[in-house]
Amino acid sequence: MMSRAEVEQIDDRGMAAWDQHDTAAFAGLLADDFTFEDVMAPEPFRTREQVKAYMDAWFEAFPDMHARTTRRVVSDDEVAAEIEFTGTNTGPLHMGDKEIPATGKSVVGSGTYFASVRDGKIVSFRAHPDVASMMGQLGLMPGM
């Protein structure tokens, strides 16, 4: 069993990796038998290369992306957090099997994630980005 402080430290390192666009650092936090899910992805990611490609797609769409935790709940083996990210959509946005050209618009996005930690590594990560709000801010959703 880990302490809450240790789980917080892993979470802090993960968020720093996202904010600094350091895919290798984030992938290094994953256990050998991890699963990484995003509500927009049809299947969970099970390799570090898939997770790095997922992150790279976000950084390609928003090269100036910054992310920060706005609220977090931590236990001895799990963390749940709300995040906020900012960025300007100057690269193509990959949504499923679609590629959406850059809009040049800036967004303030949000999302949540849930992670389970064991032996100092993330064994399960489930991301829930607020895609509808982001698409509305980019002018890609009718009526928003």
Q: Are 14 and 26 in contact (CB under 8 A)?
A: yes
Q: For residue 134, what is the enclosing H or E element?
A: helix 131-137
Q: Are 10 and 26 in contact (CB under 8 A)?
A: no
CATH 3.20.20.220: does it fit domain 4-137? no
For position 143, what pLDDT does the model report?
A: 60
pLDDT at 144 (0 to 100):
52
The pLDDT tens digits for 32-60 are: 999 999 998 889 999 999 999 999 999 99
Positions in the chain short of pLDDT 50: none
- Six-digit token pair at 141? 């959703």
What is the domain partition of the chain in residue ranges? 4-137
pLDDT tens digits, 23-35: 999 999 999 999 9
- With a CB cutoff of 8 Å and minimum separation 6, the contacts of 142 are none
- Encoding tokens for residue 42? 């049809």
Q: Provide the pLDDT for residue 34.
A: 98
* Token pair for 73: 């709940």
Bridge partners (DSSP) of residue 26 are none
* pTM score: 0.93
Using an 8 Å Cβ cutoff, are 83 and 67 in contact? yes
Helix (H, G, I), strand (E, B), or coil: what is residue 16? helix
| Closest-CA residue to 19 (of 64, 56, 66, 63) | 66
